[in-house]
Amino acid sequence: MRDLLKFITCGSVDDGKSTLIGHILYDSKLLYADQERALALESKVGSRGGEIDYSLLLDGLTEEREQGITIDVAYRYFTTDARSFIVADTPGHEEYTRNMAVGASFADFAVILTDAKKGVLVQTRRHARICSVMGIRHFVFAVNKMDLVGYSEEVFRDIEKQIDELKEELSLEDVKVIPLSATEGDNVTKHSENMPWYKGETLLKWLETVDVSDNDAEDGFYLPVQRVCRPDHTFRGFQGQIESGSIRVGDEISALPKREKAHVKKILVGDREADEAFSGQAVTIQLDREIDVSRGSVLEKDSAIDTADSVTATLIWMDDAPLIKGGNYLAKIGTSMIPAQVVEIQYTVDVNTGVFRNSGALKKNEIGVCRIVFSDRISVDRFHNHRSMGELILIDRVSFMTSACGVVEQYDKNGNLSVGKIGAKTRSAALGQQSAAIIFDRAAGVDATVLEEVEKRLVLSGRNTYLLNVDDIGDTDTSREIVKHLNNAGVIVLLSDVEGTLRDKDKEIRKIVYAGEEKDTESIVEFVKKVTSYDYDLTKDASYI
C-alpha cells in the first residue's frame, strides 16, 4: 500500500472546503463515469448556473445541499500515483464545531481554507487552534477564491501576514500558504496561469510530498485492549490495534494498570499466526500465563505509559449546557471508560487573542484547561508522548452524548490515593465536596439543636455530612480515628465539642475551628458550604493542618 496521508479540511462557512476536495477528485480522474454524469445532472439545478458544482461530491446530506453548507463530517478515500489519502471534509459553521473537532482527532495534516475577500476570521482562528490542540503539526493555509479578487498578489500577501501572525501565536511548526481558486481549479492540481507571481507547489503536489512521519514517533510498544477473546476453555486472547512499536513472540509485556507481567505466547493477525506484529495492525495476543486483563487494560513494553487518578487536560467543550466545576461525567481514554469529575477550571482561552482568562464556566465551543479526577487509577500519558493514551472525551452520564473532547497535558503520577484503593481526594471528587473536620466549640454558644438542623439542611442540599458528638465517645484518640476515616471517605464531619477534648493540636486531622460569631442556622450552613468547596483554601481558616 502507498504511503497514507490522513488530512482534514476546515475553515469558516462557505470558504470552499467541499468544492476544493471535489475539484481534486474530479481533476484527478478519480470518479466513475456514472458519478460524473450524476454530478453534471445535479449541478444543473445547483447554485452555479448549470456549471459543475464540485461540492456536491462531498455534501451528501439533503440539508447540506439545500443550505449549501457542510454539516456532518464527510470522509473520502482516494489515491494518486504518489500517495493514498483519507480526507475528512468538516463543517465550518460554529454550531457544528464538535463535528470539526472529531475530524481533527484522526488527522495528521490540516488544510485550512481562508476566503481571499475576508482574510483570517474568528472561525479560522478557532479551527487552527483546535487542530493544534488535537496534535496536528502540519498545515496548509489555502487562500481560496482568488478569482474573486482579480488574482491580486497584494491581497494574498496581506492575508499571508495575518497567517504568519497566527502561526506565531499558536506556535505552529510547519505551515505552507497557497493561493488558489477551488471553483476554477487555479493551483489545485495544476499551476495557474492567472497567478504567475506564485512559484510554489500546487495543493495536490504538496499533499503528495509532505512528510508527516514525525507524528508517529512514539516510544515503545502498546496496545489498548478492546476485547477479550475466549472461544473455548483452551484459548484466551487479547484483541486490539497496536498503536506504537512492535511485538514478537517471547517478548515480556506489562499489563496496565496493575503492572502484571507475562510473555507473549502467540500472535494472531486475523486468523494467521505470526512471529511479529507492528504498529497499525489489529492483532490477538495470547500470553503464557493467566493475568488480570480486560477491556480498558493496556499491554505495553518499554513505553513508559503510567497510571494516574487525576489529569490536567485541555478541553474543547461541545455541550449546550456550560461546564461548571464539580460536573460528573464518564471519561474515555483509550478503550477504558471510568466515572470522572471536573474539579477545577483553571482558565479558558480566548480564540481571538489566545489570552488566558479566569472563568468559572466553559461555554459551548470554548477551549479551557481543567483538572479532572477519576474514580480509580487509569492508564494514561501526556498526549504529546502517546497520542492514543492522551486523548480523552467526556460523556454525559444521563444522555450519553459527548460533552467534550481534549488532550492530557499533565497527570498526577504519584496519585492521590492515601488509604486503600481509593483515597480521600478521589472520594471527595466523586461526592463533589472537599472533606474536612469542622469543630464547633459549644462553649462559644452554638446550640445542639442548631447543629442538627445544619446537618439536615446540608444533606438535603447534596452535601455528604456526619454530625459527631465528641463527648459521647469519651476517648479522644478514638474520636480522632473516627474523624480521620470519615475524612478519608470524603465526608464533611461536623464535630460538636462541649468539653473541648479536641482543642489540642493534632496533625492527624484537618481541623477548622468555628468560633461561633454566627450562631443561626443559615449562617452556619453557608460557612460549611464555603469552606468545603473546591476553590476554598482550607489553610486560611484552619487552626492547623
- Reported as a pLDDT band with limits 50, 70 and 90, residue 416 is very low
pLDDT at 329: 92
pLDDT at 17: 77
Q: Which residues contact 359 (CB under 8 A, 6 or more apart)?
A: 345, 347, 348, 368
**Sign of CA pseudo-dihedral 454, 459, 465, 469:** positive
Q: What are phi and psi of 316, to 5 degrees?
A: -105, 110
**Sign of CA pseudo-dihedral 499, 504, 509, 514:** positive
DSSP at 517:
S
Evaluate if residue 71 carries a pLDDT over 50. Answer: no
pLDDT digits (tens, 9 = 90+) for 156-173: 999 999 999 999 888 888
Location of C-alpha cell 464539580: 326
Evaluate if residue 352 carries a pLDDT over 80. Answer: no
What are the structural domains, with CATH classification, of the chain?
Answer: 4-216 (3.40.50.300), 221-301 (2.40.30.10), 307-420 (2.40.30.10), 433-544 (3.40.50)
Q: Taking residues 356-372, what's their average pLDDT?
A: 86
- Reported as a pLDDT band with limits 50, 70 and 90, residue 419 is very low
DSSP at 201:
-
pTM greater than 0.95 (yes/no): no
Percentage of the chain exceeding pLDDT 90: 32
Select the highest-mean-pLDDT range: 101-110, 116-125, 467-476.
Answer: 116-125
DSSP at 2:
P
> How would DSSP label each residue in 48-68?
STTS--GGGGT--SHHHHHHT
